[in-house]
A and B are shown apart, each in its own frame.
Chain A
Amino acid sequence: MPAFWVIAEHNADGSLARISAEAATLARSLAAAAGGDSEAAGIVVAADPGHAAEQLAVYLPRVVAVADAAAAGHAWAVLAAERAAAVIGDAPDAVIILGAGPDGRDVAGMLAALGGRGVLVNATGAAWDGRLTVEMSVFGGKLITTSGFTAAGGIVTLRPNTVTAEVGPAAGTVERRSAAGEPSIPLVAVLDQVAEVGAAAPIEEARIIVSGGRGVGSPEGFDLVREIAAELGGAVGATRAAVDSGWVPYSQQIGQTGKIVKPQLYLALGISGAIQHKVGMQTAETIVAVNRDPDSPIAEFADLLVVGDLFEVGRAMLVALRARSG
């Protein structure tokens, strides 16, 4: 019976990344569905993995924490891939789950090459049905495919907000190990870590996203977008037009060349809904748009479209929201 492994990511402060709690929840439910002696386990690789490992053990019966001093001054993916490969071994029936963000992708690609394993990417769902079946959304959301591995196992990258993280019945064990041996892939030195002002919470994980487009018109215009996001407890997103204009950092861009998000609410202000933007946000559970053009493409896939000026409607919305909470 297969083993389901999660290779966990951690935040800059050493805490567990939310996507990894989601991946762990999925691994646990797949192992339960597969039955027999299948197990779910996690791996944390960091200079000091303790904190993230304890947090991961809330979701999984077993966590291997690999302390690797090299992780302090070097890019993480190589170390994570090599150390995880050593823990997992070459069992062909291992199912390895990672987040579909930049770090998870890097590790997935390396692990696939090191172990000759198959990869199913950007999963929007996974189930055990005598075998692992993985759903993904393709062709700009026009089609949902279900795929499997031809071998007993493989690697899955999981989209954020696909699974709701739920703690396990009992806290798991944390097994501490130290890294052994030189990695076969060259390490890349991290000379400096720079925090940029205005870098916001990762939008892939946000439950609510308030997004602005060209219609917002200026960097100052985004203050209103930020205010509404703060009032709703959400994150700020943007179209490429807004990013290219320099109003918002690229990290907030949603769409084909930006991030793919799946929030519960997507509030689009001054966004036309071009196909390249749509592919990044169309699986939001609820889409609300404010646009002065009733014929913009977003009118075809929003749940609610308010025809009007985004500044007027946005300010009135703030008043209404504050009155409600006040």
Chain B
Amino acid sequence: MHIVVLTKPVPDPAAAAERLGPDGRLDRAASPSVVNGNDEYALEAALKLTEAHGGEVSLLTMAPAGATDTMRKALAMGATRGVLVTDPALAGSCVRSTVQVLAAALRDLTFDLVFAGADTSDGGGGIVAAGVAALLRLPYLSNAARIEPDPVSGRVQVRRITATGYDLLEAPMPALVVCTQVLGEPRYPSLKGIMSARSKEIATRSLGDLGLSAEAVGGTVATTQLLGTRRPPARGATQVVRGSAEEGAREIVAFLESRRLI
């Protein structure tokens, strides 16, 4: 079982230091970078499956060259190797370029499954994976709460969370699955994992290596553009109520009435 996990380095949301640079792009120096939280669930699910069925987990990342540091953290969790697509022309890429680049990189890899996270914490809309599946004509199974590949039949079953429960989906492999937190907590890297990650392979690929050109993908052909930014309106001061439970309850009801919420 070979699984490729799409992992994106993002500014650490817990540091809350994200900001835009003067060019309107993310100022990557301002924040420490981490593996996108939702991608860790996907990686954990992939590691569990390869532990059960044998095989390997590869990471695929499109990011600036410095992303190898962040990728090492994911390798320390247990992935076998990483592929980093990096090229100066990719700065300022939009969703369309990201989809094309990841699809092109996947064409050069062998896999039974591709896993992605539900969305990225740095403003991603949870749409890249669907685009990649569409370009590669892969069966697409999203919002997964359980993933059961059957190496014998070559098919994968997925429980897809719905508004009322779940749908049981089935498709032939290779297929692309979008993972959720319900699949289980990501593991912490062990000391041994951290040591061995240092020598694991991270292959870098440029646009040229993928047969793509800067006229087709990247910042110069972005489909979207930033026009402006503003700060959200500040919330008013917090009104604090102390006292008996009855007083507290009365205050809440009065407050809701004053705002015409009840």
Is A bound to B?
yes
Distance from B18 Cβ to chain A, minimum over Cβ atoms (Å): 4
Residue of A nearest to B142 (CB): A106
How distant is the Cα of A282 from the Cα of B220 in the complex, in angstroms? Answer: 35
**Which residues from 135 to 164 on chain B have a C-beta closer than 8 Å to any C-beta of chain A?**
135, 137-143, 145, 157, 160-164
B 1-41 to A, binary, CB cutoff 8 A, 1 in contact else 0:
00000000001011010111000000000000000011001
Name the segment of A23-31, A64-72, A134-142, A161-169 touching the other chain: A134-142
Tell me whether B248 is interfacial, beta carbon within 8 Å.
Answer: yes
- Given A303-B236, A304-B252, the answer on whether A75 and B96 have CB atoms closer than 8 Å is no
Are A75 and B134 in touch, CB under 8 angstroms? Answer: no
Tell me whether A186 is interfacial, beta carbon within 8 Å.
Answer: yes
Tell me whether B208 is interfacial, beta carbon within 8 Å.
Answer: no
Are B227 and A150 in touch, CB under 8 angstroms? Answer: no
Distance from A271 Cβ to chain B, minimum over Cβ atoms (Å): 14
Distance from A181 Cβ to chain B, minimum over Cβ atoms (Å): 15
Main secondary structure of the interface of A (DSSP, over half): mixed
- Given A113-B131, A121-B124, A140-B16, the answer on whether A193 and B232 have CB atoms closer than 8 Å is no
Contacts of A229 in B (CB 8 A): none
Are B238 and A301 in touch, CB under 8 angstroms? Answer: yes
How distant is the Cα of A176 from the Cα of B25 in the complex, in angstroms? Answer: 45
B130's partner among A106, A143, A290 (CB-CB below 8 A) is A106
Contacts of B242 in A (CB 8 A): 294, 307-308
- Given A119-B95, A304-B252, the answer on whether A188 and B229 have CB atoms closer than 8 Å is no
Are B227 and A133 in touch, CB under 8 angstroms? Answer: yes
Are B261 and A257 in touch, CB under 8 angstroms? Answer: no
B 43-70 to A, binary, CB cutoff 8 A, 1 in contact else 0:
0000000000000000000000000000
Interface size counted on chain A using CB atoms at 8 A: 101
Are B249 and A188 in touch, CB under 8 angstroms? Answer: no
Are B134 and A185 in touch, CB under 8 angstroms? Answer: yes
Distance from B194 Cβ to chain A, minimum over Cβ atoms (Å): 24
Tell me whether B182 is interfacial, beta carbon within 8 Å.
Answer: yes
How distant is the Cα of A244 from the Cα of B157 in the complex, in angstroms? Answer: 24
Contacts of B108 in A (CB 8 A): none
Tell me whether B181 is interfacial, beta carbon within 8 Å.
Answer: yes
Contacts of B11 in A (CB 8 A): 139
Tell me whether A199 is interfacial, beta carbon within 8 Å.
Answer: yes
B164's partner among A145, A195, A279, A315 (CB-CB below 8 A) is A195
9 contacts between A and B (CB under 8 A): A12-B164, A102-B126, A109-B128, A121-B124, A143-B231, A188-B139, A190-B169, A191-B157, A196-B164
Question: What 18 additional pairs, Cβ within 8 angstroms, besides A142-B16, A188-B171?
Answer: A12-B163, A77-B142, A118-B222, A121-B125, A139-B11, A139-B19, A140-B16, A143-B20, A157-B125, A185-B134, A193-B162, A244-B185, A250-B180, A265-B256, A265-B261, A287-B235, A294-B242, A321-B262
| 3 cross-chain pairs, A with B, having the tightest CB-CB distances, nearest first | A121-B125, A118-B223, A109-B130
